[in-house]
């Protein structure tokens, strides 16, 4: 009965039944089994400390009742590891997964599917730790075992290709990730019924890659296909539906369609409020995403409120140094940064870094992001030597943690360039921006928005150097890409028109400048709230040009 209630997502009834059974006389092995199911339910609800307690109590009973290398003990260690992973305690998770694998190596045949599962789980922890080569090695070991023990189109192969794709995705090798995800989908189409939830997961993964490649229409199509399947296969308030709306919101966010993004994120949150306990970490993630949209819309008080709500939930749900706290403080810092409250931003970014130093390996990519953000604040405070030092520390970590042409390297060189431009060292700035662009040309599709940003930055250097024709050429290349990659009213298009207008202004071609700036204002009016500071800046520029005609 407990199993049945769990399978239909009736977690509350299943949990009540488990607690009732534990109050009755049970055999040792039955008590261990009930505690196991209670742990499963508590983990699913995000109650990690309770889940850990239930799993550990179950393990203690099983240690007495079973031989030391019984497969059920391996399952217990596996479940304990799963909780530790959810809590962000990766070293403990790795230790428990490795203990599970040791038992399975003794108890099972060398090509048993459970050995493949163990290697897969160990790989996922390595991926969380940012140790991608170790993760890839373990995933490939898992795949080898499955190739020996299973028929060629078994669903477990699909799982292997998904997890390998996940590593490539985290490494920024999007073409390899896409290939792995598409291989997984091919197998699932053969092995599973057409509306199986696993197909939805594969379409979701493919959408994720397309989104990071800047191919937003393809990403949206894949996410919507995933959602269609989930609507057929799952109950109306299943958490996976919330995940689909969340991902669709992410595409709209990247496309600059903030009202659509907000609507999708809020739909996701509504479902999670029904499906999960009130302090589940996934709700924190939803509030975080809503905050992200408000921040880009310039509604900073709403953004801060959403981020702080997210943080409140995490403080209840997770241990104090979980990596998610690092992300929360980082986002709060981002709002303060946009509000120009640099001391508060710096404080939040440094708090994020402190947590990451405790919870993550010393060369984890997330630490590079924190050093990057700290540098960004220093740059805006005019403390350029401190900014340069932090950006270079970020770059050092990325050189250790990531493959040589990962898009994050482009970001590092771009940011170092921004310090040099503020220091007036234009040749160094230009060199850094061009290095960034070289990497992006290798790692990203030719019309990815990030390339447009690089051409824009190169244009910024040329305008500061007084080389207006070169600046215009770079800004126009940036605009060409944005017209292909982004919807017509994306704020970045307005930024491009604004920059082109400023070049024309400096060249003394005031009618062309006015035309470009008015186009920028039109786009900003459609994409941003009426009190957003960008609108005021463009209006001021237009007024200054009109004075020239009087």
User: What count of other Cβ atoms lies within 10 Å of the Cβ of residue 267?
Assistant: 18
CB distance 290 to 262 below 8 Å: yes
Assess whether 202 and 293 both reside in one domain.
no
Residue 9: per-residue pLDDT: 47
Q: Is residue 354 part of a domain?
A: yes
Q: How many residues does the chain have?
A: 550
Quote the CA–CA distance of 528 and 491 in Å, as a whole number: 7
Assess whether 333 and 371 both reside in one domain.
yes
Final residue of a domain: which of 368, 387, 402?
A: 402
State the burial class of residue 446 (Cβ atoms within 10 Å of its Cβ: 0-12, 13-18, 19+).
exposed
Q: Which of 45, 110, 103 is nearest to 75 (CA)?
A: 103
Residue 66: per-residue pLDDT: 86
Tokens found for residue 152: 């060629």
Residue 529: per-residue pLDDT: 85
Instruction: Give residue 199's domain range.
Output: 172-275
Q: What is the CATH number of the domain that holds 225?
A: 1.25.40.10
Q: Is residue 507 part of a domain?
A: no
- E strands, 366-452, in order: none
Return the residue matching tokens 């373990």. Answer: 138
Residue 38: per-residue pLDDT: 81
Assess whether 217 and 245 both reside in one domain.
yes
Assess whether 286 and 394 both reside in one domain.
yes
Q: Is residue 310 part of a domain?
A: yes
Kindly calculate the radius of gyration of the chain based on its CA atoms and give it in whole angstroms: 26
Assess whether 332 and 365 both reside in one domain.
yes
Assess whether 294 and 261 both reside in one domain.
no
Residue 5: per-residue pLDDT: 38
Q: Is residue 328 part of a domain?
A: yes
Residue 318: per-residue pLDDT: 86
Return the residue matching tokens 């490494």. Answer: 171
- Going by C-beta distance under 8 Å and a sequence separation of 6 or more, which residues neighbour residue 37? 2, 3, 6, 14, 18
Final residue of a domain: which of 275, 295, 327?
A: 275
Assess whether 250 and 359 both reside in one domain.
no
Total domains in the chain come to: 2
User: What count of other Cβ atoms lies within 10 Å of the Cβ of residue 136?
Assistant: 18
E strand or H helix at 65? helix 48-65
DSSP annotation string for 287-352:
HHHHHHHHHHTT-HHHHHHHHHHHHHHHHHHS-TT-HHHHHHHHHHHHHHHHTT-HHHHHHHHHHH
Assess whether 243 and 297 both reside in one domain.
no
Instruction: Give me the phi and psi of 23, to 5 degrees please.
Output: -85, 0
Please compute, for residue 359, the number of CA atoms within 13 A of its CA located in the half-sphere on the CB side.
26
Spell out a b/e string for 241-252, using b for 16 or more CB atoms within 10 Å of the CB, else e: bbbbbbbbbbbb
Q: Is residue 240 part of a domain?
A: yes
CB distance 365 to 401 below 8 Å: yes
Residue 550: per-residue pLDDT: 63
Quote the CA–CA distance of 361 and 124 in Å, as a whole number: 15
Assess whether 371 and 303 both reside in one domain.
yes
- The sign one gets for the Cα dihedral 541, 544, 548, 550 is positive
Q: Which of 491, 546, 5, 525 is nearest to 255 (CA)?
A: 491
Alpha helices in 171-215 (DSSP H): 174-191, 197-212
CB distance 356 to 316 below 8 Å: no
**Count of helices and strands (H, E) across the chain:** 27, 0
Tokens found for residue 18: 């488990």
Assess whether 330 and 395 both reside in one domain.
yes
- Residue 9 per-residue DSSP state: T
Assess whether 245 and 284 both reside in one domain.
no
Task: Collapse the DSSP code of 90 into the 3-class scheme (helix H, G, I; strand E, B; otherwise coil) and give the result.
Answer: helix
Assess whether 308 and 391 both reside in one domain.
yes
The pTM of this model reads 0.80
User: What count of other Cβ atoms lies within 10 Å of the Cβ of residue 20?
Assistant: 10
Task: Collapse the DSSP code of 232 into the 3-class scheme (helix H, G, I; strand E, B; otherwise coil) and give the result.
Answer: helix
Q: Is residue 215 part of a domain?
A: yes
Q: Which of 432, 421, 353, 411 is nearest to 384 (CA)?
A: 421
Q: Is residue 199 part of a domain?
A: yes
Q: Block means of pLDDT (10 residues each) for the chain, length 550 residues?
A: 42 65 72 78 78 87 89 93 89 95 95 93 93 94 91 90 94 94 96 95 97 94 98 95 98 94 98 92 96 94 97 91 92 95 97 93 91 97 97 95 90 97 97 97 92 97 97 98 92 95 95 94 90 90 84
The three-state (H, E, C) secondary structure of 449-463, written as one string: HHHHHHHHHHHHHHH
Q: Is residue 445 part of a domain?
A: no
Quote the CA–CA distance of 295 and 480 in Å, as a whole number: 27
Final residue of a domain: which of 275, 293, 324?
A: 275
């Amino acid at each position: 009965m407990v199993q049945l209630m769990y399978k239909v997502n009736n977690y509350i009834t299943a949990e009540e039944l488990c607690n009732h059974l534990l109050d009755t006389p049970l055999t040792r092995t039955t008590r261990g089994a009930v505690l196991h199911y209670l742990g499963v339910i508590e983990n699913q609800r995000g109650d990690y400390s309770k889940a850990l307690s239930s799993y550990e109590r179950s393990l203690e009973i099983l240690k007495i009742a079973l031989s030391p290398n019984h497969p059920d003990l391996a399952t217990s260690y596996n479940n304990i590891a799963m909780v530790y992973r959810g809590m962000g305690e990766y070293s403990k998770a790795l230790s428990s997964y490795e203990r599970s694998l040791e038992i399975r190596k003794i108890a099972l045949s060398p090509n048993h599917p459970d050995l493949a599962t163990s290697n897969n789980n160990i790989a996922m922890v390595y991926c969380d730790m940012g140790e991608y080569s170790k993760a890839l090695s373990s995933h490939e070991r898992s795949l080898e075992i499955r190739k020996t023990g299973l028929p060629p189109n078994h669903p477990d192969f699909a799982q292997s290709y998904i997890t390998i794709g996940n590593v490539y995705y985290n490494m920024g090798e999007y073409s390899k990730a896409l290939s792995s995800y598409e291989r997984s989908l091919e197998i699932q189409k053969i092995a599973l019924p057409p509306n199986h939830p696993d197909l939805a997961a594969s379409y979701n993964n493919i959408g994720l890659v397309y989104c990071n490649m800047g191919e937003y229409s393809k990403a949206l199509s894949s996410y919507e296909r995933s959602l269609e399947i989930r609507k057929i296969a799952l109950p109306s308030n299943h958490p996976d539906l919330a995940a689909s709306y969340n991902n669709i919101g992410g595409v709209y966010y990247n496309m600059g369609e903030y009202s659509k993004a907000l609507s999708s994120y809020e739909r996701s949150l509504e479902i999670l409020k029904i499906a999960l306990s009130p302090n589940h970490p996934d709700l924190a993630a939803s509030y975080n995403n809503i905050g992200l949209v408000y921040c880009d819309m310039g509604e900073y008080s709403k953004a801060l409120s959403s981020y702080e709500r997210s943080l409140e939930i995490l403080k209840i749900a997770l241990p104090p140094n979980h990596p998610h706290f690092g992300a929360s403080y980082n986002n709060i810092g981002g709002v303060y940064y946009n509000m120009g409250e640099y001391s508060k931003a710096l404080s939040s970014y440094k708090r994020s870094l402190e947590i990451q130093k405790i919870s993550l390996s010393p060369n984890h990519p997330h630490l590079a992001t924190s050093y990057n953000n700290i540098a960004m604040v220093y740059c805006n405070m005019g403390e350029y030597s401190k900014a340069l030092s932090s950006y270079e520390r970020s770059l050092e970590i990325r050189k250790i943690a990531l493959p040589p042409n990962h898009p994050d390297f482009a970001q590092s060189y771009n940011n170092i360039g921004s310090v040099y431009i503020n220091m007036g060292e234009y040749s160094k700035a230009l060199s850094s921006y061009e290095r960034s662009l070289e990497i992006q040309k290798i790692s990203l599709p030719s019309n990815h928005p990030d390339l447009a940003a690089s051409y824009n930055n190169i244009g910024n250097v040329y305008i500061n150097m007084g080389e207006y024709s070169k600046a215009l050429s770079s800004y126009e290349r940036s605009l060409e890409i944005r017209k292909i990659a982004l919807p017509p009213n994306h704020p970045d298009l307005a930024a491009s028109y604004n920059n082109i207008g400023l070049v024309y202004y400096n060249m003394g071609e005031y009618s062309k400048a006015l035309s470009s700036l008015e186009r920028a204002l039109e786009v900003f009016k459609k994409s941003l709230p009426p009190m957003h500071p960008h609108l005021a800046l463009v209006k001021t520029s237009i007024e200054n040009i009109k004075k020239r005609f009087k």
